Amino acid sequence: MKLITILFLCSRLLPSLAQEETTQKIDCNDEDVFHAVDAALKKYNAGNKTGNKFVLYRVTEGTKMVGSDTFYSFKYEIKEGNCPVQSGLTWQDCDYRDAEEAATGECTATVGKSETEKFYVVTQTCNITPGNGPILTAQYTCLGCVHPILPDSPELEPVLKHAVEHFNIDTRRSHLFALKEVKSAKRQVVAGLKYEITYSIVQTNCSKEQFLFLSPECKSLADGDVWKCRDNAFVDIDQKIVDFSQDCNIYSGQYLTHPLPAKCPGCPSTIPVDSPVLTEPLGHAIKKLNTENNHSFYFKIHTVKKATSQVVGGMRYFIDFIARETNCSKANNMELGPDCEVKSSGNGLSCNADVYMRPWENKVQLTVKCQDIQMRLTNTCEYKGRCSAEEPVPGSDEKSSQ
């Protein structure tokens, strides 16, 4: 009996098995779906040396993942046919065996379609229930085939944990990041397992100054920076990660994306002067200021007056700030520390910083230009022609100029 007319009794709604951006639901009328299921069932029947061939009953759910190769992941149900496995007939030529005696089964398979239009079975697991016996499980894995796996697969957990820890340790970010979403994952069996994983991570409320590692207290920030990463990992037969590479790029963030006009990529955008995103560029700026000036005492940031950012193959910050002289001398201190307090009668500097950062390359380029506030006062007095002794020094107000 020819079964072409009843091969695809698919469910009308086919749930997605993966969350990759290129994943599509299977269309039952797609001819390639038939070839993918046909390849999977023929592979299963070829693995049986005795008994009868199994015949397709229906496809229940599945997805199509499009990439360099196209992959079909699906579930299908089968019933025992009346053709012996040694008959040389295809399953399409067989009829169903009597229902009371026939074995039934459900298979989960991933089938790839190469650029040469060849279909090949990557993985397959079939649970068979004989007419009068226990359930039997048959598994097949194509060794050496690169194939997609489910983004929520438990086997990815140790690799993703290693990946997030690597990012938090290796990058110069002020806060810890946590896993946000796994976009896609691939696996290859090669005397161990190779993984390629695409995922996103999000900034948490835990600063590195207070937390060495992620803990239950670390919560994702709704407006935090989001990075997109693509990692390659090799796990040996002892389940150890022996080779790992990571490539991450900033994807979005509160101060990165919100102020930019939709039609103006790369335009400068204003940042609130109390934004935590300024902590790192300001740290670079004050360090450079203290290294290059000839004052005997360290200066520290006192007031941020204005700040903007710009996306230019990295992040570029333009910051206007007031720096005040502290009580920490360079002779007695190796660097500016948290205990250094501003002198009540110390000098003040009005500064402009241009800081360019590429965190994934640990690259920082900056210039800092400062002018003594007393000099600015003198210039202002000369311009006005007079200057009262009680006239406040520009920028000396203790309140932030915003």
222-260 residue pLDDT tens: 888 999 999 999 999 888 998 999 999 887 654 443 333
Q: Is the same domain home to 135 and 159?
A: no
Q: Is the same domain home to 168 and 195?
A: yes
Q: Is the same domain home to 165 and 222?
A: yes
Evaluate if pTM is beyond 0.75: no
Q: Rounded mean pLDDT of 29-54?
A: 90
**pLDDT digit string (tens) for 155-199?**
999 999 999 999 998 888 889 999 999 988 888 888 888 999 999
Strand partners, 348: 324
Q: Is the same domain home to 190 and 137?
A: no
Q: Is the same domain home to 233 and 282?
A: no
Residue at 264 is within a domain? no
Residue at 89 is within a domain? yes
Residue at 142 is within a domain? yes
Q: Is the same domain home to 248 and 205?
A: yes
Q: Which residue range(s) make up the domain with 66?
A: 4-146
* Contacts of 212-221 spanning 24+ positions with Cβ under 8 A: 213/165, 213/168, 213/176, 214/164, 214/168, 214/176, 214/178, 218/176, 218/178, 220/178, 220/180
Q: Say which CATH number the domain at 225 has.
A: 3.10.450.10
Is residue 368 exposed (0-12), middle (13-18) or buried (19+ Cβ within 10 Å)? buried
